[in-house]
Amino acid sequence: MSHHVFGPVPSRRLGRSLGIDLVPFKTCTYNCIYCQLGQTTNLTLERKEWVPFDKVMEEARKKIRSADRIDYITFSGSGEPTLHSRIGDMTRELKRMSSIPVAVLTNGSLLWQQEVQDDLLEADLVIPSLDAPDRGLFRHVNRPHPDLAFDQVVEGLVKFRERYSGKIWLEVFLLSGITGMESEVKKIADLARTVRPDLVQLITATRPAPLDFVEPVSVEDMNRFVRFFDVPTVAVPAFSPIARDVLSKAGREEILRLLERRPCTVEDIALGLGIPPAEAEKYVADLDAHGQLRSETCNGSVYFTADPT
Ligand code: SF4
């Protein structure tokens, strides 16, 4: 059974993405108020081999051989992947295994460290976050490790851009009434100009967030905010439809593994695992009847998660 490699899962931005999880659940440098995984249980800046290199690579090799289609291999998952001290070695090893592009979904908080920059240089795509315009909102929204300074994090993004020739998509998570307002977004746009990403992606809460006061920004405001940026910028829709023509056998195990990682609608499951929606619905109904799922309604959609109890 796979423990560190999951999917391919439906990604809002990367199509069918094979996820690699490099740290134990909620080991992170931040404790963001919008984190869909809940509270950070290990708030740390310590870089080490949190999970064994050999085991992760073995799991990845098997998945790459057996999956029908993978658009990206993505370091993401249940915490901050750059906390793993061998993420650079893994990227090189994955590139020896296949020609599938490698993406790193990071909060960007450690990019001021030279060795973290070195480790990401061979990735094809780096997606760092910048959710706040100043240190006050940084503390409020990202709730970082106390030794992290906002200016240092922004400086890290700028320095990394100077060295890195791959693509950077800067992710800006906006929250209604907190950062999702004109004055704050304009300041974030000024910072984004200094980072010089290839693309800015504005996103907002579309999945159940752990705290009640975390509210999504309206579609109208998201589209209006895009115009404040003078680097290419998009508001990412809640879900981008991806190819429906990939059919594969998805079992209960695969669905549960997906739902252990993130909440999904039936449609997310169907698209992510390449099975017809009716089949996904059948599996979900069956798992639900056996008490293996929890459900929650958010913005009119029902999201399922695996119930470990
Ligand atoms: S950086 Fe990502 S994993 Fe860490 S707390 Fe924030 S949203 Fe969650």
Whole-model pTM: value is 0.79
Domains and CATH numbers, the chain: 5-242 (3.20.20.70), 245-309 (1.10.10.10)
Place of tokens 């009434």: 177
The 10s digit of each residue's pLDDT in 89-110 is 999 999 999 999 999 999 999 9
Ligand 1 atom closest to Cα of residue 34: 7
The CA 69 to ligand 1 mean position distance, Å, reads 27
**Any atom of ligand 1 within 6 Å of the Cβ of 104:** no
Six token digits for residue 135: 């240190």
**Any atom of ligand 1 within 6 Å of the Cβ of 6:** no
Contact in structure between 129 and 81 (CB atoms under 8 Å): no
**Any atom of ligand 1 within 6 Å of the Cβ of 17:** no
The CA 142 to ligand 1 mean position distance, Å, reads 8
> In this predicted structure, what is the pLDDT of residue 75?
95
The 10s digit of each residue's pLDDT in 198-218 is 999 999 876 555 566 678 898
The 10s digit of each residue's pLDDT in 109-150 is 999 999 999 999 999 999 999 999 999 999 999 999 999 999
Contact in structure between 304 and 293 (CB atoms under 8 Å): yes
What percent of the chain has pLDDT above 90? 59
The CA 165 to ligand 1 mean position distance, Å, reads 25
Strand partners, 19: 6, 74
Ligand 1 atom closest to Cα of residue 29: 4
Position 15 confidence tier, pLDDT thresholds 50, 70, 90: confident
What's the rounded Cα separation, in Å, for the pair 281 and 283?
5
- Cα radius of gyration (the chain): 19
Contact in structure between 200 and 172 (CB atoms under 8 Å): yes
The CA 230 to ligand 1 mean position distance, Å, reads 27
**Any atom of ligand 1 within 6 Å of the Cβ of 40:** yes
